Amino acid sequence: MSSNNKKWFSLNLSNRKKEQSSSCSCGNTSGQCASQQTPEVIDNEQNKDGFEQVFDVTMDRRTAFKKLTASLMIGAGAVSTSCSVISSDESKEKAQIDWEEQFKGNYRLMTDEEKQATVERLVRSYQLRTGKTINMSSKNAEENVLFGYAFNISKCQGYMDCVNACVEENNQDRNSQMQYIRIHEMKEGNGFNFGEADDNYYHEVPAEGHFYMGTQCFHCDNPPCTKVCPVKATWKEDDGLVVIDYDWCIGCRYCMAACPYDGRRFNWSQPEVPEEEINKNQHYLGNRMRKKGVMEKCTFCVQRSRAGKNPACVEACPTGARIFGNLLDPDSTIRWVLENKKVFRLKEDLGTEPKFWYFMD
Amino acid sequence: MINKYKYILLLGCSLILISLLFSCKSHHEDEYHNIVDKIEAKSTLYNGTSISSEAYIEPNTIEITEGEHTFLIPERKSQITSYACTECHAKPLGELQDSTKYKKAHWNIKLKHANAHTMNCVTCHNSADMDNLKSLTGEAIDFNRSYNLCSQCHTQQFKDWKGGAHGKRIGGWAPPRASLTCVNCHNPHQPQIKSKWPVRYNTQKEIERD
């Protein structure tokens, strides 16, 4: 885990063993120490912000030049517009916003004021570009809330209303038909056989001898996707939502590979939503407009759930197969389901602890 | 003397070891073994949240308490087109049953619920008291609380509905809870829900699959 792990073979000509340097206080040099190094790194990062977060890291020359060039372009733009007498106030403001956005830090490390500021910048930027006003929230996780989801396999009939609602609510790319939810049509008596399931049926539903189940991001309590992110652009919030900072994501898709549930989606092209269909009630970590080359996924509709609403899929489902709520509230319906129905989760043996349970009538 | 030093050394070493053990333990991200343990432990300290779903609940609801569950359901009577029934049915039903004298009423209602041995109109409706439903033992049931009628036979569904596993929640996830009642989804005269076409078809995925 440390710098000793060389990827190449080197001859030890001096015949002297290098002393293993251990950064852990417990003196344990084996793999056990890996977990203890992480907090230190985070502590370091917390002191950095904006410019420092971008530049005060070890990087190779190529990356440094790339970042410098990009920043210089924006800087040059900002300088030329702000000094120019011809350019309007609006373009000066736009340059100012671009400058600040270029050097903004990781959302997770921002203070509440910084979160508010970045959200306001994005709203203003959208206004300057399109002339339309959106509403973007930076609401944090509420105390005493842990979101959980239950899915009734006996009730789902495969109507796909959830998918439509999700696409509209979360401003998903219409061209590539990006969808967070998949509904699998499965043959009764064969168990969960995802290989033989039909995800793209088009006939009257429910079909004879079949049952339907939906999958999406399960918001694991022990998410493998957040651990593999090399830039910490994805993490688990205190209310259990696994979220992505789209502006910090570099699009390496490690998280997509790490997810055992096919929960994550990648923007292969510039996502496009017709202007009149854009949902203007947005959250920084939720349904704000994404760009090409970043990951996205279900956020349990963070813009809705943190305001007390049900996610769009729950609201749209005409069968009541989808149940959402606060796992910490002993009187919530989700808790009643977990305590009174025979619930199970997918791939429980992986220890990912998904907060998404299935049950039957 | 040497023994004493040894003793002190041993004590010191063990102290360091213990402190290291604890410092290593405190580094762990989560002290819970699994999510169920976490939920159980954290919900003992639960004392409500500031989030409420009150704003999203339609105004026309009534509060019901069944067993240990108290929640809101949509009010029904105002949604029935020709309620109150007695506005038309001034005479007792017995006098209207001569089909030579009167036209057939409610011709659009066909009963497809259980079979003729089990149910007919008067299993639920009372010819003597049209404005109320009636239980199997003849007691009046308010139209707003028609779930009491359904629950006479569908006990498991009733139990699940009370708990929140059956039926659709409306408003939001936070308290107060509001759920649809039986007749908001099921037509009581033909409770079976018909099959229909899914609302979307993924052309893109179809192309990718071929």
A169: closest CA of chain B, how far (Å):
16
Whether A163 shows a pLDDT value over 50: the answer reads yes
User: Across the interface, do B204 and A355 touch by the CB < 8 Å criterion?
Assistant: no
**Which of A5-14, A107-116, A151-160, B1-10 shows the lowest per-residue confidence on average (mean pLDDT)?**
A5-14
Domain residue extents for chain A:
34-134, 147-181+216-359
CB of A99 within 8 Å of a chain B CB? The answer is no
Tell me whether residues A320 and B205 touch, CB distance under 8 A: no
pLDDT above 90 covers a percentage of chain B that reads 58
Identify the burial level of A351 via C-beta atoms within 10 angstroms of its C-beta, where 0-12 means exposed, 13-18 middle and 19 or more buried.
exposed
Peptide bond preceding B116: is omega within 30 degrees of 0, i.e. cis? Answer: no
Q: What is the mean pLDDT of residues A5-15?
A: 50
- Name the pairing type of β-strands A234-236 and A210-215: unpaired
Q: Which two tokens stand for residue A337?
A: 């389901």
Mean local confidence (pLDDT), A113-118: 95
pLDDT score at A31 = 41
A131 touches chain B (CB under 8 A): no
Distance in angstroms (rounded) separating the CA atoms of residues B181 and A318: 13
In angstroms, rounded to a whole number, what is the distance separating the alpha carbons of residues A46 and A40? 10
**Burial of A7 (C-beta count, 10 Å sphere; 0-12/13-18/19+):** exposed
Residue-level pLDDT at A19:
44
> Is A60's pLDDT higher than 80?
no
What's the confidence (pLDDT) of residue A182?
94
Helix A333-340 with B155-163: angle, nearest 10 deg: 130
A103-112, A139-148, A340-349, B83-92: the lowest-pLDDT one: B83-92
B154 burial via Cβ count (<10 Å: 0-12, 13-18, 19+)? middle
Q: Are A211 and A153 in contact (CB under 8 A)?
A: yes
Find which of A30, A239, A327 to mutate to test the B interface (most B CBs within 10 Å of its CB).
Answer: A327
Per-residue model confidence (pLDDT) at position A28: 44
| For residue B205, pLDDT beyond 90 | no
pLDDT digits (tens, 9 = 90+) for A341-354: 999 999 999 999 99
CA angle, corner B48, sides to B42 and B52, nearest 5? 130
- For A288-337, the pLDDT digits (tens) are 999 999 999 999 999 999 999 999 999 999 999 999 999 999 999 999 99
In sequence order, the 6+-apart residues with CB closer than 8 A to the CB of A56 are A48
How many secondary structure helices (H) and strands (E) does chain A include?
11, 11
CATH dotted code for A147-181+216-359 = 3.30.70.20
pLDDT of residue B94: 73
ipTM rounded to 2 decimals? 0.83
Mean pLDDT of all residues in B115-128: 89
Percent of chain B past pLDDT 70, that is, above it, reads: 90
Rounded CA gap, A240 and A229, in Å? Answer: 18
Dist. CA A318–CA B193, nearest whole Å: 11
For chain B, positions 159-178, list CB contacts with chain A under 8 A.
160, 163-169, 171-175, 177
Q: A253-293 pLDDT, tens per residue? A: 999 999 999 999 999 999 999 999 999 999 999 999 999 99
pLDDT of residue A237: 96
> Which residue in this structure is represented by tokens 């790490």?
A258
For A158, the closest of B29, B164, B198 (CB atoms) is B198
A12 falls in which pLDDT band (50, 70, 90)?
low
Out of A47-61, A130-144, A244-258, B133-147, pick the least confident. A47-61
Which pair of tokens denotes residue A236?
């688990």
- CB distance A254 to A136 below 8 Å: no
Please indicate if any CB of chain B lies within 8 Å of the CB of A317. yes
Mean pLDDT of A71-97: 74
**Pick the residue with more confidence: B97 or A270?**
A270
Say if residue B25's pLDDT is above 90. Answer: no
Which of A27-36, A293-302, B177-186 shows the lowest per-residue confidence on average (mean pLDDT)? A27-36
First to last CA, chain B: 86
Q: Is residue A22 very low, low, confident or very high in pLDDT (cuts 50, 70, 90)?
A: very low
Q: Is the pLDDT of residue A15 over 60?
A: no
User: Residues 146-185, chain A: which have Cβ within 8 Å of B?
Assistant: 146, 150, 152, 155, 157-161, 163-164, 176-177, 179
Residues A195-244 have pLDDT tens digits of: 999 988 999 999 999 999 999 999 999 999 999 999 999 999 999 999 99
CB contact under 8 A, B166 and A160: no
Residues 82-111 of B with CB under 8 A from A: none
Of B42 and A12, which is predicted with more confidence?
B42
Residues B127 and A317: their CA atoms lie apart, in Å, by: 38
| A77-86, A178-187, B152-161, range with the lowest pLDDT | A77-86
Percentage of chain A with pLDDT > 90? 69
pLDDT of residue A63: 75
**CA-nearest residue of chain B to A151?**
B165
pTM for the whole thing? 0.80
| DSSP string covering A294-351 | -EEE--S-HHHHTTTBPPHHHHH-SS--EEEEETT-TTSHHHHHHHHS--B-TTGGG-
pLDDT at A29 over 70: no
Q: What is the pLDDT of residues B29-72, one digit of tens each?
A: 568 999 999 999 999 999 999 999 999 999 999 999 999 999 99
Highest mean pLDDT among A11-20, A87-96, B30-39, B148-157: B148-157
